[in-house]
Amino acid sequence: MSSDLPINEKISLKGSANKLKVIIPENMPEGTMWKELDHTALDASNLFTGVDLVIHLGGRVISRGFLLRFLKDFVISHDIRLSSWEANDESSREAILSMGLNLSRKDIKQSRRSARRSETLVIHSSLRSGQRIEHDGDVLIIGHVNDGAEVIAEGNVSVMGKLKGLVHAGYNSEEDRAIIAASFETKQVRLGTKVSTLSEEADFWGRYVIVSPEKGSLLFKELKI
C-alpha cells in the first residue's frame, strides 16, 4: 500500500490548493465502495462544489465498466467536477486512458522534506456531524466544527466558531503545530502524536483557546488578544 492511503479503511478526502483528492482504500470491497461513495458525496458535497476532484484508486484493478459506473453513479449523479485519476496498476491506468480520461501527473513525487507545504484550506461553512476533511497544510474554518465532524490536518487548525467535534492538527508531521478555537467545547483534541481528553469543568471551556505542545504534553491557554 502506498504511503498516502488513510490509516482507517474508509473513503477519505484530502485537500490541496484547489483540488480535493478522494482516496478510495484499495482493499475496500466494491459493493461497500459504491455505497461509501454515495455517502461521501452526500456528506461532503458542500466541500465538492467549485473544486476539481482527483480520484485516488491506489493499487485497485479496475475495468472500463467500473469507470462507466463511477462516472454515472458518482460524478454525474452528484454533479461533480472531475480533474484526474491516480492509479498504481498499469491495466487500470490503461483503462482510464482508453476512455479519454486524465491521469494525474503524480510522478513529481515530492520528498517530504523539500516539498513546500500546501496552501491553507479555507472552509467557509460549519462542518456538520459526519463531515470529515483532511488536508496536508493548515486549515481555517470560518464556522463551527459540530459534534461528530472531524478535521485532520498536517498543519495548524483554526476554528472561528465553536469547536465541538474532533480536530487533529500536526497529523503525520514532526513540526510543532497549534489548534485555535474561538469557543473551545470539545472533550478531546489531538496534536501530533498527543491526545488530550478534557471535561466541561475545565476553566477554559467555552473560551477562546490555543492548544500547543509543551514539554511532551499539551498546553491549553486562554487566548487574550
Indicate the DSSP class of residue 200. T
Buried b / exposed e across 89-119, counting CB within 10 Å, b at 16+? eeebbebbeeeeeeebeeeeeeeeeeeeebe
Q: How far is the CB of 118 from other proteins (least distance, A)?
A: 24
For other proteins, the closer CB: 33 or 62: 33
Q: How big is the chain by its Cα radius of gyration, in Å? A: 19
For other proteins, the closer CB: 21 or 164: 164
Separation CA 213–CA 191 (nearest Å): 7
For other proteins, the closer CB: 159 or 178: 159
Q: How far is the CB of 150 from other proteins (least distance, A)?
A: 12
- Asked if 37 and 80 touch (Cβ cutoff 8 Å), the reply is no
Look up residue 138 and give its three cell numbers: 493548515
* Residue 26 neighbours by CB under 8 Å, 6+ apart: 1, 5, 57, 58, 59, 60
For other proteins, the closer CB: 104 or 146: 146
For other proteins, the closer CB: 2 or 77: 77
Cell 478510495, located at residue: 24
Q: How far is the CB of 177 from other proteins (least distance, A)?
A: 27
In sequence order, what are the beta bridge partners of 195? 190
Q: How far is the CB of 162 from other proteins (least distance, A)?
A: 9
Q: How far is the CB of 46 from other proteins (least distance, A)?
A: 5
For other proteins, the closer CB: 38 or 119: 38
CA nearest 65: which of 41, 96, 42? 96
Q: Which stretches of the chain bind other proteins, using CB under 8 A?
A: 38-39, 42-46, 77, 126, 128-131, 144, 146-148, 164
Q: How far is the CB of 59 from other proteins (least distance, A)?
A: 29
Separation CA 96–CA 67 (nearest Å): 7
